[in-house]
């Protein structure tokens, strides 16, 4: 049984947003019959509802009746607990993706992610919500904090340049800063020895989702229900209906969209071990206005990193995540962990001292206390959904007519989900034989990358991967990183003991 825990640790994003939709229920009772049930109210569920509205806004036929069921408070899962980074893999995954899918396949994946920057820009402009959701585009950096990291980051950029030419449109979006002093100045990261720069965005994900849901609620097409876990969904019956069972009663529907992230396998057991959990951790720390100039990430090896951004006024909060220098000493504290109701020993202390130890020019002062998450700051955890073959599953669920899924986006959903939900929406509407007209917003964007597509073959191959061996490998790599110098200062080792793996 993998339903979301009811009492996750408090996240700054949720506490500080103070949204009226937090515990929202459109009606006291659930409707008995609808056209579409969306399970999950995170980024995937909310953008699917939004696209359903946009695709049917100009249609001649009736609009579908949509019901969204959420186990927790609205957007209480990964989207309400993440890093806020809309940061495409512009080059860094190129070698890995090229090895699996060839130069063009790798480029298609990168272009899909990069397209999210303009897609977000257009959407928030069209809806007039850019300021409300703290949306900002700019440049981001990967800061190399070791020779090992610089070799990997620069190597990835150069491999892409070699295959696609210096003037390739994606290659032109990236640039290197090779001079350490210039890299430190741009990144504001003490000890940075080189950096790769590329376009990216930042957003308050929870506010974005609540704004989209408010827009769809205002149309009258959506019934939204917080604190309503779905415990079972049936196959489609001969009469065309699917039965959705919840703790608050049963609903009949013609289609179900599984926007359930790590918890997908609770309702679709074929995804057990295929989509699984890892826990990540972040903190919010108040800073002087405009102190951090760019979003970014620090890298020591391919496991150890931190990433951060700063929110605009009046919030002026730094959101920093990673803390891998601490986590790599205790891999099982986060790998395959669902314990979102607990913070991880040593992380709050590590992150509250991070600005003073890692940012150039941070004025020494008593570090903020992070133990108690409030709207002023704090440290929290969240469950990321990982996919065993590294890519999300987006499309019709094989062998289950009327069921659609978009899940398994790992710790990297922001530059992938908006256009993935735009892909499944017309599939759902076509299944229901509803009249649709594609919104101008999605017309220009690349189609779904091949590796995201759902098929029986892909699911069966994924099920055959030895998940236990994968975990063992990851634990081993993590403990190798734990031996390196950069994981052995007092801050990183404060809670680790030599044979401590969990
Ligand atoms: C700590 C952390 C940091 C991250 N940082 C970043 C980042 O900076 N950039 C980035 O790109 N990505 C980041 N990610 C990943 C990103 O947040 C996710 O990929 C994305 O939010 C997934 O959205 P979702 O809607 O699919 O899942 P969620 O937001 O998890 O939504 C799924 C919802 O479904 C509900 N649900 C599940 N099962 C049921 C059920 N049976 N009945 C009813 N409801 C159910 C859950 O309660 C949940 O609210 C991070 C993730 C975490 C956890």
pLDDT (tens digit, 9 = 90+) per residue, 177-195? Answer: 999 999 999 999 999 999 9
Q: What is the mean pLDDT of residues 475-499?
A: 86
Q: What is the pLDDT of residue 366?
A: 59
The mean predicted confidence, pLDDT, of the chain is 94
Q: Is 383 in the pocket of ligand 1 (CB under 6 A)?
A: yes
- Res. 172: pLDDT tops 80: yes
Any ligand 1 atom below 6 A from CB of 439: no
Question: Which residue is it, tokens 């049917």?
Answer: 56
Residues 17-40 have a mean pLDDT of 98
**CB of residue 82 inside a 6 A radius of ligand 1:** yes
Q: What is the mean pLDDT of residues 308-317?
A: 96
- 68 has a pLDDT exceeding 90: yes
Side-chain half-sphere exposure of 443, counting CA atoms within 13 A: 5
Query: Rounded mean pLDDT of 299-322?
Result: 96
The CATH H-level superfamily of 22-81+206-274+389-464 is: FAD/NAD(P)-binding domain (3.50.50.60)
Separation of CA 489 and ligand 1 centre (Å): 32
Could you tell me the pLDDT band of residue 78, with boundaries at 50, 70 and 90?
Answer: very high
Candidates 19, 75, 79, 90: which one to mutate for ligand 1, based on the most atoms within 8 Å of Cβ? 79
pLDDT of residue 16: 94
The predicted pLDDT at position 499 comes to 45
- pLDDT tens-digit map of 195-245: 999 999 999 999 999 999 999 999 999 999 999 999 999 999 999 999 999
CB 342 within 8 A of CB 381: yes
Per residue in 356-388, pLDDT (tens digit) is: 999 999 976 656 655 555 677 799 999 999 999
pLDDT number for residue 373: 59
Residues whose CB falls within 8 Å of the CB of residue 282, separated by 6 or more in sequence, listed in order: 11, 12, 81, 82, 83, 319, 320, 321, 351, 379, 380, 381, 382
Q: How far apart are the first and last CA of the chain?
A: 23
Domain ranges of the chain: 22-81+206-274+389-464, 277-387+467-502
Quick one: DSSP state of residue 4? P
**Ranges of H-type helices in 82-133:** 94-127
């Amino acid at each position: 049984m993998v339903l979301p825990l009811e009492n996750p640790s408090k996240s700054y994003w949720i506490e500080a947003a103070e949204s009226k939709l937090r515990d929202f229920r459109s009606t006291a009772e659930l409707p008995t019959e609808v056209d579409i049930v969306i399970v999950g109210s995170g980024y995937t569920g909310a953008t699917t509802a939004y696209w359903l509205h946009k695709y049917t806004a100009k249609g001649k036929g009736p609009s579908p009746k949509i019901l969204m069921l959420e186990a927790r408070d609205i957007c209480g899962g990964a989207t309400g607990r993440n890093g806020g980074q809309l940061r495409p893999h512009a080059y860094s995954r190129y070698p890995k993706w090229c090895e699996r899918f060839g130069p063009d396949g790798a480029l298609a994946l990168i272009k899909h992610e990069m397209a999210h920057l303009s897609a977000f820009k257009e959407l928030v402009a069209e809806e007039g919500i850019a300021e409300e959701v703290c949306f900002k585009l700019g440049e981001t950096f990967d800061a190399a904090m070791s020779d090992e990291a610089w070799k990997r980051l620069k190597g990835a950029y150069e491999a892409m340049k070699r295959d696609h030419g210096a003037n390739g449109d994606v290659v032109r979006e990236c640039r290197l800063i090779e001079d350490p002093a210039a890299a430190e100045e741009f990144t504001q990261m003490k000890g940075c020895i080189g950096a790769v720069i590329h376009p990216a965005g930042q957003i308050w994900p929870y506010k974005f989702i609540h704004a989209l849901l408010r827009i769809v609620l205002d149309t009258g097409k959506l019934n939204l229900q917080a604190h309503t876990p779905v415990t079972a969904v049936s196959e489609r019956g001969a009469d065309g209906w699917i039965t959705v069972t919840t703790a608050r009663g049963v609903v009949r529907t013609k289609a179900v969209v599984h926007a359930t992230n790590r918890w997908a396998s609770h309702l679709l057991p074929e995804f057990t071990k295929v989509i699984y959990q890892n826990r990540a951790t972040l903190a919010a720390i108040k800073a002087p206005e405009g102190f951090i100039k760019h979003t970014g990430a620090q890298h020591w090896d391919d496991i150890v990193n931190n990433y951060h951004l700063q929110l605009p006024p009046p919030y002026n909060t730094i959101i920093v995540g990673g803390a891998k220098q601490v986590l790599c000493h205790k891999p099982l504290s986060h790998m395959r962990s669902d314990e979102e109701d607990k913070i991880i020993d040593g992380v709050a202390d590590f992150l509250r001292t991070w600005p003073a130890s890692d940012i150039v020019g941070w004025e020494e002062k008593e570090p903020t206390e992070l133990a108690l998450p409030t709207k002023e700051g704090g440290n929290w955890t969240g469950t990321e959904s990982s996919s065993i073959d590294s890519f999300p599953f987006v499309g019709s669920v094989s062998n289950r007519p009327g069921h659609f899924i978009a899940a398994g986006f790992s710790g990297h959903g922001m530059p992938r989900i908006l256009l993935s939900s735009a892909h499944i929406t017309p599939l759902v509407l076509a299944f229901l034989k509803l009249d649709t007209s594609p919104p101008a917003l999605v017309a220009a964007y690349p189609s779904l990358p091949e590796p995201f597509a759902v098929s029986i073959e892909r699911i069966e191959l994924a099920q055959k991967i030895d998940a236990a061996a994968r975990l063992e490998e990851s634990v081993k790599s993590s403990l190798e990183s734990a031996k390196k110098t950069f994981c052995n200062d007092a801050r990183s080792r404060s809670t680790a003991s030599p044979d401590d793996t969990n």
